[in-house]
Structure 1
Amino acid sequence: MSRKTTATKNIGKTDKTSDYRFFSETIEIGRISPLSFLEAGSSDYKEKHFYWQNADRTLTIVGLGHAKIITSNEYDKRFLEVSKRWKELCAVLIKEEKDIAPVLFGGFSFDPKSIKASKWDGFPSAYFVVPSYQLISKNGQMFISINLITTDSNAVEEFDALREERDRLIHIAEVNEFASSIKPIVSGIDEIEKDSYLKAVQDVTDQINKGEAEKVVIARSLQMNFEQEVSSVAALHHITSEQQESYHFGLQKNGQLFFGATPERLIEIVDGQAYSACVAGSIKRGKTAMEDRELGEELLNDDKNREEHHYVVNMISNVFNKNCSDVSMPKEPKLMRIRDIQHLFTPIEGKLVSGADIFNLVEELHPTPALGGVPTNKAMEVIRREERMDRGYYAAPIGWTDSDGNGEFAVAIRSGLLDGDKAYLYAGGGIVADSEPDKEYDETWVKFRPVLRALGGKLNG
Structure 2
Amino acid sequence: MLVTENSVDTSVLINGLIASGVPFAAYRLPRHDTFRLLVSYDPFLHLEKVDFEELPSGFAFAPFKTGGSPVLFLKADFEREVNLREPQIDISDLKCTPDLLQSDTGFAFETLPHPNDEEEYQAKVQQILTRIRQGEARKVVLSRRKPLGRITESNFFSAFTSLSTSHQDAMVSLVHLPDNKQVWLGASPEVLVSQNRDGVFTTMSLAGTQSAFDRNGKEIKPVDALWTHKEIEEQAIVGRYIINCLKKIRVREYEEEGPKTVKAGNLLHLRTFYSIDNREVNFPNLSSVMLNLLHPTPAICGMPKESSEKIIDDIEGYDREFYSGYLGPVNVDAESHLFVNLRTLKVEDGIAYVYAGGGITEDSQPDREWVETEMKMGTISRAFDNFHRF
Report if TM-score (shorter chain) is over 0.5: yes
Deviates most, 207-216 or 321-330: 321-330
| Match among 65, 68, 74 for residue 111 of structure 1 | 65
Deviates most, 397-406 or 367-376: 397-406
| Corresponding residue for residue 434 of structure 1 | 363
Larger RCO (alpha carbons 8 Å, 6+ apart):
2
- CA RMSD for the aligned pairs? 3.6
Q: How does 1:218-367 map to 2 (within 5 A)?
A: 218-226=142-150, 228=152, 230-254=154-178, 255-270=181-196, 271-287=198-214, 292-293=220-221, 296-299=224-227, 302-321=228-247, 322=249, 326-330=253-257, 332-352=258-278, 353-367=282-296
| Match among 44, 51, 70 for residue 83 of structure 1 | 51
* 1:230–1:420 Cα contact (<8 Å) kept: no
How many Å separate the matches in 1 of 2:218 and 2:308? 38
Q: TM-score, normalised by structure 2?
A: 0.83
Q: How does 1:40-439 map to 2 (within 5 A)?
A: 40-44=13-17, 46=19, 47=21, 48-57=23-32, 60-66=35-41, 69-72=44-47, 78-79=48-49, 82-83=50-51, 87=54, 90=56, 103-112=57-66, 125-136=70-81, 164-165=93-94, 181-188=105-112, 190-191=114-115, 193-226=117-150, 228=152, 230-254=154-178, 255-270=181-196, 271-287=198-214, 292-293=220-221, 296-299=224-227, 302-321=228-247, 322=249, 326-330=253-257, 332-352=258-278, 353-402=282-331, 406-439=335-368
Describe the shift of the 1:458–1:131 C-alpha distance in structure 2 as closer, same or farther (beyond 3 A).
Answer: closer
Equivalent residue letter for 2:330: T
* 2:51–2:288 Cα contact (<8 Å) kept: yes
Stretches of structure 1 lacking an aligned partner (at least 5 in a row): 1-33, 73-77, 91-102, 115-123, 146-161
Describe the shift of the 1:251–1:427 C-alpha distance in structure 2 as closer, same or farther (beyond 3 A).
Answer: same
Describe the shift of the 1:445–1:290 C-alpha distance in structure 2 as closer, same or farther (beyond 3 A).
Answer: closer
Cα displacement string for residues 148-183 of structure 1 (whole angstroms, at most 9, x for unaligned residues): xxxxxxxxxxxxxx95447999xx9xxx9985x334
1:192 deviation in Å? 7.1
Q: TM-score, normalised by structure 1?
A: 0.71
How many Å separate the matches in 1 of 2:15 and 2:267? 33
How many Å separate the matches in 2 of 1:324 and 1:40? 45
How many Å separate the matches in 2 of 1:262 and 1:359? 21
Equivalent residue letter for 1:277: M
* 1:362–1:397 Cα contact (<8 Å) kept: no
Cα displacement string for residues 299-328 of structure 1 (whole angstroms, at most 9, x for unaligned residues): 2xx211110011111112233453756311
Equivalent residue letter for 1:228: T
* 1:68–1:131 Cα contact (<8 Å) kept: no
1:403 deviation in Å? 6.8
What secondary structure, in the 3-state scheme, does the structure 1 residue paired with 2:80 have? strand
How many Å separate the matches in 1 of 2:383 and 2:351? 14
Cα displacement string for residues 180-204 of structure 1 (whole angstroms, at most 9, x for unaligned residues): x334143236357543322110010
How many Å separate the matches in 2 of 1:364 and 1:286? 36
| Corresponding residue for residue 453 of structure 1 | 382
What secondary structure, in the 3-state scheme, does the structure 2 residue paired with 1:251 have? strand
* 1:45–1:65 Cα contact (<8 Å) kept: no
Equivalent residue letter for 1:187: T
What secondary structure, in the 3-state scheme, does the structure 1 residue paired with 2:378 have? helix
More helix by share: 1
Equivalent residue letter for 1:343: H
* 1:358–1:405 Cα contact (<8 Å) kept: no
Describe the shift of the 1:421–1:309 C-alpha distance in structure 2 as closer, same or farther (beyond 3 A).
Answer: same
Equivalent residue letter for 1:107: F
% of aligned pairs identical?
21
Paired residues, number: 371
* Higher alpha-carbon Rg: 1
What secondary structure, in the 3-state scheme, does the structure 1 residue paired with 2:16 have? coil
How many Å separate the matches in 1 of 2:8 and 2:59? 17
What secondary structure, in the 3-state scheme, does the structure 2 residue paired with 1:83 have? coil
